[in-house]
Amino acid sequence: MKTKPLSQDPGSKRYAYRINKEENRKELKHVKIDESSLVQKGQKIDLPKKRYYRQRAHSNPFSDHQLEYPVSPQEMDWSKLYPYYKDAETGQMTKKVTIADIGCGFGGLMIDLSPAFPETLILGMEIRVQVTNYVEDRIIALRNNTLSRHGFQNINVLRGNAMKFLPNFFEKGQLSKMFFCFPDPHFKQRKHKARIITNTLLSEYAYVLKEGGVVYTITDVKDLHEWMVKHLEEHPLFERLSTEWENSDKCVKIMRNATEEGKKVERKKGDKFVACFRRLPNPTIL
Ligand SMILES: C[S@@+](CC[C@H](N)C(=O)[O-])C[C@H]1O[C@@H](n2cnc3c(N)ncnc32)[C@H](O)[C@@H]1O
């Protein structure tokens, strides 16, 4: 007889934990947590525990996942993700997302970028369901636990496939920074097409990035680093930034140490290869 995975077995601890967190998430995901909300009154929300959100290491970016996405950026209701930035009178957002962490994993980068860019909206996009749920729960807890100083209102996560739907979420030239931290290496040659940096995808990234915007990449896999550098260098709308630039940029510093994968590499004393590229101006068409 086939046994149910732990996450679906009503008797398991993980099942109970997930149900409990899901109810909390449903209630708090889209609300502006403020002094009047129930969770206030000095109550802290525990940070989520990763072990209850386990799922497969990879999700096929070519599968037809059941993903929600807007038909165009104008249809996207950002106030659900950043309720703090919705103008109460006009109902309009006061800011747009300008930093994206592509394949954000467990969200460590956003959490460190949040106080470094307190006036900027930052979005993580992640394809795996349970990992996205973890980041949502982490942000709910952090927002609640730093209520008095309005902490972490400027970050959030979306479940989405960045290889398919970025132009549905972002207008042309909307982003100023895109991060690709420790992307899945897809080692085998026949899997290279699943890498998140390819010629075609770079044109989409160039579309959503503003002129002068920056693509940040970091990986511990030398072959992937060389692949990303090669494709970015070959693309007419990107130019590599110097090592001096990298050493003086605060995001590079954060990116080296903030992400969960980066911390793993650090513990194993592995290499970290960094490459950053500036989005060049569009050529004038004569
Ligand atoms: C190796 S992990 C790195 C996570 C994080 N950036 C870090 O450094 O800790 C790569 C992540 O990218 C996500 N991912 C892969 N392809 C994706 C896609 N097409 N769209 C969104 N996320 C994707 C994976 O689910 C995984 O969580």
**pTM of the full predicted structure?**
0.91
Q: How far is the CA of 192 from the centre of ligand 1 (A)?
A: 15
Known active-site residue 184: yes
* Any atom of ligand 1 within 6 Å of the Cβ of 105: yes
Average pLDDT over residues 169-198: 95
Give a three-class secondary structure readout of 4-68: CCHHHCCCCHHHHHHHHHHHHHHHHCCCCCCCCCCCCCCCCCCCCCHHHHCCCCCCCCCCCCCCC
Q: How long, in residues, is the chain?
A: 286
Q: Which residues contact 263 (CB under 8 A, 6 or more apart)?
A: 108, 257
**Which residue in 9, 34, 112, 184 is the catalytic one?**
184
Which CA distances in Å does 93 have to 24, 88, 97?
Answer: 25, 9, 10
Q: What is the pLDDT of residues 152-178, one digit of tens each?
A: 999 999 999 999 999 999 999 999 999
Q: What is the pLDDT of residue 26?
A: 74
Nearest CA to ligand 1 atom 13: 103
For residue 131, the ligand 1 atom closest to its alpha carbon is 27
What homologous superfamily does CATH list for 84-277? Answer: Vaccinia Virus protein VP39 (3.40.50.150)
Q: What is the pLDDT of residue 25?
A: 83
**Residue 219 Cβ contacting ligand 1 at under 6 Å:** no
* Residue 149 Cα distances to 83, 144, 187, angstroms: 15, 10, 44
Confidence of residue 34 (pLDDT cuts 50, 70, 90): low
Output the pLDDT for position 68.
Answer: 86
Ligand 1 binding pocket includes 130 (Cβ within 6 Å): no
C-alpha to C-alpha distance for 217 and 225, rounded to whole angstroms: 8
Statement: residue 28 has pLDDT above 90? no
CA 125 to ligand 1 centroid distance, Å: 8
| Strands 97-102, 121-126: pairing kind | parallel
Share of residues in the chain with pLDDT > 70 (%): 93
ipTM for the predicted complex comes to 0.99
